[in-house]
Amino acid sequence: MPVATNTKRNLVTAALVAPAAAWLMIFLVLPFIAMLVFAFGERAPEGGYQAAFTFAQFARLPTRAAAFWNTMVLAPVGALVCLLVAYPVAYYLAVKANPRYRLILVSLVVVPFWTSLLVRTYAWMYILGSRGIPNLLSMIGLEDVRLLNTPGAVLLGIVYGYLPLMIMPIYVSLEKLDRRLLEASADLGAKPVSTFFGVTLPLSLPGVMTGVALVTILLLGEYLIPQLLGGGKVFFIGNALVDLFLQSRNWPFGSAIAVTLVAVVVVILMVAMRIAFRVAGTRQVDLV
């Protein structure tokens, strides 16, 4: 290839990449660096940030152990429950559903996303609140059932809110699954259950891992659902951050928590992806 064409091609590539690169630089990398700097600083007397180099903020992390605990338990558990609900739905959509109605059914999964999560979570507040299900239960003699402001309510809200994000990647990986592999498995004497665990499930693992990683990561930063359905009793790191940045104006401590969270997310993501690629046994390019 002539040199001139090569240079031209590089320029085109640069031009195409530039907007995204600039965007990520300004709105992701620079803020993250700022946060990293803040995390090693001190709270100014009137609130905000004051330059310093100290690990004091990280030393105070245990005081927010409850928020970390809730996040670290409810995010993966939420993602797992999400997975258990989403897999059969995705399986039905991709494998069992009549292809003629498939598109309609898939869009039904996505439609709730068109309305605000805030509104939908408010609806759950009413359903779970004293005038909702507990009210109905009291009619049949079950008094004083508390649903709202419990970990269960937060879990329910999480699963409800993030279900489509779990269904879609699993649906995509199942939809790509070569049906002849299922026939080959049956041909070799595998009963339907063995075929599912021997072929279908392993080959849909990239989708499962993507879904779990996606939902878990988003849940780690979740703020709205614990706020509304946990009523300040079941709070996440997200709630702690809002509290620290907006209420007590302790930016360095908030930054330390946020940085720690990012570190945790990165580790989880790396481990999950490694497992997914190993199990699927295909090259990375095949999975995208």
Partner 1 sequence: MTSASTNDIEFRSVAKRYGSVTAVSDINFAVPKGAFMALLGPSGCGKTTCLRMIGGFEQPSEGTVYISGEAMNGVAAYRRPVNMVFQQYALFPHLDVEQNVSYGLRQMRPRIAGAEITRRAQEALEMVRLGGFGKRRIHEMSGGQQQRVALARAIVNKPKVLLLDEPLAALDKKLRTAMQIELQTLQRELGITFVLVTHDQEEALSMSDFVCVMNAGRIVQVGPPQEIYDRPASLFVADFVGKTNRIAATVDNGGASLVFADGTRIASPATATPSAGSAMVALRPEAISLKRNGAAGTAALSGTVTHRIFLGSSVEYSVDVDGLGDFLVTADRRALGDSDLVEPGDKVGLAFDPNALHVFPA
Contact set with partner 1 (CB under 8 A): 178, 180-181, 183-192, 194, 198-199, 202-203, 279-283, 286
CB of 287 to partner 1, least distance (A): 11
CB-nearer residue toward partner 1: 72 or 177 = 177
CB-nearer residue toward partner 1: 262 or 279 = 279
CB-nearer residue toward partner 1: 241 or 280 = 280
CB-nearer residue toward partner 1: 29 or 188 = 188
Q: Hey, what are 43's tokens?
A: 């709270």
Please state, in angstroms and rounded to a whole number, the distance separating the CA atoms of residues 227 and 122.
Answer: 11
Residue spans of beta strands (DSSP E) within the chain: 42-43, 49-50
CB of 192 to partner 1, least distance (A): 8
CB of 275 to partner 1, least distance (A): 13
Please state, in angstroms and rounded to a whole number, the distance separating the CA atoms of residues 173 and 197.
Answer: 15
Longest CA–CA separation in the chain, Å: 84
CB of 63 to partner 1, least distance (A): 46
Q: Evaluate whether 209 touches 272 at the Cβ level (below 8 Å).
A: yes
CB-nearer residue toward partner 1: 8 or 286 = 286
Residue 288, SS3? Answer: coil
Angle at CA 232, nearest 5°, toward 48 and 132? 145
Q: Hey, what are 69's tokens?
A: 């605990």
Half-sphere exposure of 130 (CA within 13 A, CB side): 2
CB-nearer residue toward partner 1: 257 or 280 = 280
Integer-rounded Cα radius of gyration of the chain: 24
CB of 256 to partner 1, least distance (A): 42
CB of 101 to partner 1, least distance (A): 17
Please state, in angstroms and rounded to a whole number, the distance separating the CA atoms of residues 267 and 263.
Answer: 6
